[in-house]
Amino acid sequence: MMVVLLSSCAQKSVFEELADGACNSEQAQLVNTHISGQIDAIAKEKWELAYSFASEGFREGVSIGEFIFIIGAQYGMLVKNKSYEFDKCSIANQQITQEVRVKSGKQVFDLYYTLSVNGIRLGVESATAAISDNNLNA
């Protein structure tokens, strides 16, 4: 219980004031942990867990069934990912953007996650994907 309280306090101070610019290292670490949780849950097809990483606003507008459909139709690379790594994290207009490079099969995809902060809770608002300019030849 104490760990949860301490991490909640740490998150509050880290995200209390979102200044435009690059994420600081604490912010980036928490954002990366949040996104990793969702990607890992998607890869294991643990849909309810993956859905829980979405923002409250997203969940109000998109049912879990629609979420599963969207992932299958547009983000299959997350279900079948071999690895992923984080790149730039930035803040603008009270939202966080995190770039993630995902390797799936022989292709590499660049995903741009948008997250919001509601109190101390991070939530994935959206993600856009494109085939990376740095595709692997393997």
Residue 29 belongs to what H/E stretch?
A: helix 25-43
**The predicted structure's pLDDT at residue 8:** 47
Q: Picking from 14-28, 33-47, 68-82, 100-114, which range would have the lowest pLDDT averaged per residue?
A: 14-28
Using 50, 70 and 90 to split pLDDT, how confident is the model at 65? very high
Using 50, 70 and 90 to split pLDDT, how confident is the model at 11? very low
**The predicted structure's pLDDT at residue 16:** 79
**The predicted structure's pLDDT at residue 135:** 60
Using 50, 70 and 90 to split pLDDT, how confident is the model at 14? confident
**The predicted structure's pLDDT at residue 17:** 78
Residue 121 belongs to what H/E stretch?
A: strand 121-131
**% of the chain beyond a pLDDT of 90:** 75
**The predicted structure's pLDDT at residue 13:** 57
In the 3-class helix/strand/coil scheme, how is 63-119 assigned residue by residue? Answer: CHHHHHHHHHHHCHHHHCEEEEEEEEEEEECCEEEEEEEEEECCEEEEEEEEEEEEC
SS3 62: coil
Q: What's domain 22-131's architecture?
A: Roll (3.10)
Average pLDDT for the chain? 88
| pLDDT exceeds cutoff 50 at 137 | no
pLDDT 10s digits, 67-102: 999 999 999 999 999 999 999 999 999 999 999 999
The letter for the amino acid at 69 is F
Distance CA 78, CA 39 (A): 6
